[in-house]
Copies of this chain bind each other. A is one copy, B any other.
Amino acid sequence: MAPRGETKERILAKALESFSTVGYDGTSLDDLAEALGIRKQTILYHFVSKRGLLNAVLDDSVKVLTESLEEVLDASNPHRDRIEDLVRSVFRVALEQPLLLGLLREVSRPGSPAAPRLKNQMGPLMERAISWMEGEMEAGRMRKTDAQLVLLSAYSTVVGLATEIEILRTAGVERVLRPSAQRRQELLHFLRTSLTPSE
């Protein structure tokens, strides 16, 4: 019927939507299929099991996030404000694909079946970010603190803000764009004041 891997993509998209809102356990394959105008077995054909579907969705999301971040970390122009770039990049993802961070939030919960997989996936990226920060600290361009701590803190803040955006959006609450800009400013301010060495 569908010549290309079109249905597979559609399933992934809807699954992301469902997982990040009603959660993994709250998502039934039947409902998912019905929402797609498809039979449940089609889903199980493309992804072996429900768990397999979750893994696929997760891999996809992590890939998008990683690419978006690596682009910034890679950037060879050494003089730009890397922190601002990072924040801007993450917020762009959060605004364009809030569901993605919603999935992270869902999956990073203690007791989540996919938590270890997420850890493996994000591991390299985290390590790289940490070693970069440590390098900056050594060079005196960043205040010396526990890099991992700062990273985790920033991460949770961003995800928290992003999911809040989504919550507000689903709740039909008014403006979303302007506040998010403000939040970016706040987060930036936060990171700068807690990272810049000159006190």
Residues of A at the B interface (CB closer than 8 Å) are 21-26, 102, 105-106, 108-111, 115, 145-146, 149-150, 152-153, 155-157, 159-161, 163-164, 166-167, 169-171, 179, 182-183, 186, 189-190, 193-194
Which single residue of chain B is at the shortest CB-CB distance from A161? B156
A111 to chain B, nearest CB (A): 4
Name A22's closest neighbour in chain B (CB-CB).
B111
Q: List 21 A-B contacts (CB under 8 A).
A: A21-B110, A22-B111, A23-B25, A23-B109, A23-B111, A26-B111, A108-B167, A109-B163, A109-B167, A110-B170, A111-B170, A145-B182, A146-B179, A149-B182, A149-B186, A153-B161, A153-B183, A189-B193, A189-B194, A190-B193, A193-B193
Contact between B182 and A146 (Cβ–Cβ < 8 Å)? yes
Interface of A is mostly: helix
C-alpha gap A111/B149 in the complex (Å): 31
Contact: A21 with B109, CB < 8 Å? yes
A189: chain B residues at CB < 8 Å are 193-194
Residues of B within 8 A of A109 (CB): 21, 23, 102, 105-106, 163, 167
Distance (Å) between the CB of A22 and the closest chain B CB?
5
By a CB distance below 8 angstroms, the chain B residues around A115 are: 167
Across-interface contacts of A170 in B (CB, < 8 A): 110-111
Closest residue on chain B to residue A159 by CB atoms? B160
